[in-house]
Amino acid sequence: VRRIFSGIQPTGLVHLGNYFGAVKQWKTFIDDDSRAKPIFSIVDLHAITLPQNPAELRNGVESMAASLIACGIDPAKCILFRQSDVGEHTSLSWVLGCLATLPRLSQLPQFKEKSEKIRDVPLGLYVYPVLQSADILLYKATDVPVGEDNLQNVYFAQHMARVFNHRFGTEFFPRIKSIVLEDGSARIRSLRNPEKKMSKSDPDPKSRISIIDSEDEVVEKCRKAVTDFTSEVYYDLEKRPGVSNLILLHSLSAGITVDEAVQSAQGLDTGKYKLHVAEAVNEHLKPIRETYSALMNDRHHLREVLSEGAQNARSLASETWQAVRSIAGLSQMA
């Protein structure tokens, strides 16, 4: 059976990059019965690779669960859980860490980018991709939908599956396939610096639109989005990344093609077009905002959802972990 696994860090609110690049795609798998139940994890162990305030982290997990459900990730149709609730993630991560090599890990671009900004680099940041491999392999996942920034980590997980199988002469872990959208949504850009991806960790909140930003905030952020000195609206991702990012957000929000979005901008300069984009984004986010606030007012329900998700994840994870122990000689002969 094919199985989807993906994760998201509870380090801030879901932004349009996460939403169009990952979460909206997750929703399509939820309604597809041809695979096993998809598994989506709120990866708090990944979040602590950089310092987090414990109360904010705890709240962030519940807020992320509410956001995902509001985006259509129905917990009845998938396994939605907090990573740290399932101890096997760290257990498997250790075994894989013993098979991973330093040179291979140090090549990964995310580590390079993040560690450049820190003086005392935590070991956890270095082994982040090992933990992500464990997340995927623990459920013997075959399909991993991610944004472009995360693709190298999925390749690394593919590599870890091969190394494990080869070392122990087994076909235990299946082949992993990444799923990356080809329509541009795999890399939504920052509104303040279109050379960079939109990101939760960008210190400038105007660089991203969160799915629960108010209507006024969306208008303000679109108005302030960095474009260029050409007033005409047309799509050219390479030469005009700022305007093209706005066209993309418009087309994704309104459910129209990029060409249709450009057509609708005829006669508008980029300044006026920004308001048009804000309108489409607001329209799209309206029901999500409403569901999110209703869910956040019922924490008891959110906790129950997470605890049920953890139970379901644990039963799959422990089966894999027991098998890995046996394969690697970490348990008595069965």
200 catalytic per annotation: yes
Between 26 and 164, name the residue whose CB sits nearer to ligand AQP.
26
114 catalytic? Reply is yes
Output 8 or 209, the one with its CB closest to ligand AQP: 8
Q: What is the 3-state secondary structure (H, E, C) of 183-245?
A: CCCCCCECCCCCCCECCCCCCCHHHCCECCCCHHHHHHHHHCCCCCCCCCCCCCCCCCHHHHH
Q: Is 201 or 297 the residue whose CB approaches ligand AQP more closely?
A: 201
User: Is residue 197 among the annotated active site residues?
Assistant: yes
CB of residue 29 to ligand AQP, shortest distance in Å: 13
Question: How many CA atoms are closer than 13 Å to the CA of 212, on its beta-carbon side?
Answer: 19
Q: What angle do CA 37, 316, 177 make, to 5 degrees?
A: 55
Residue of 197, 206, 272, 286 marked active site:
197
Counting Cβ atoms within 10 Å, is residue 115 exposed (0-12), middle (13-18) or buried (19+)?
middle
C-beta neighbour count of 157 within 10 angstroms = 25
Q: How far is the CB of 285 from ligand AQP (least distance, A)?
A: 16
- Applying CB under 6 A, the residues found at the interface with ligand AQP are 8-9, 11, 17-18, 21-22, 110, 146-147, 149-150, 186-188, 197-201
DSSP at 139: T
Nearest-approach distance from CB 311 to ligand AQP, in angstroms:
24
5 or 164: whose CB is closer to ligand AQP? 5
Q: Which is nearer to ligand AQP, 199 or 264 (CB)?
A: 199
- In whole angstroms, the minimum distance from the beta carbon of 150 to ligand AQP comes to 4
Q: What's the helix, strand, coil split of the chain in %, to 5?
A: 55, 5, 35
Nearest C-alpha neighbor of 208 from the set 191, 222, 225, 224: 191
DSSP bridge pairs for 41: 7, 81
Q: Which of 27, 37, 77, 114 is catalytic?
A: 114
Q: How far is the CB of 134 from ligand AQP (least distance, A)?
A: 16
Q: Which of 24, 140, 200, 274 is catalytic?
A: 200
Nearest 5°: phi and psi at 226?
Answer: -75, 125
Q: Which residues sit opposite 189 in a β-bridge? A: 197
Q: How far is the CB of 12 from ligand AQP (least distance, A)?
A: 6
291: buried, middle or exposed (CB in 10 Å: 19+, 13-18, 0-12)? middle
Known catalytic residues?
Answer: 114, 197, 200
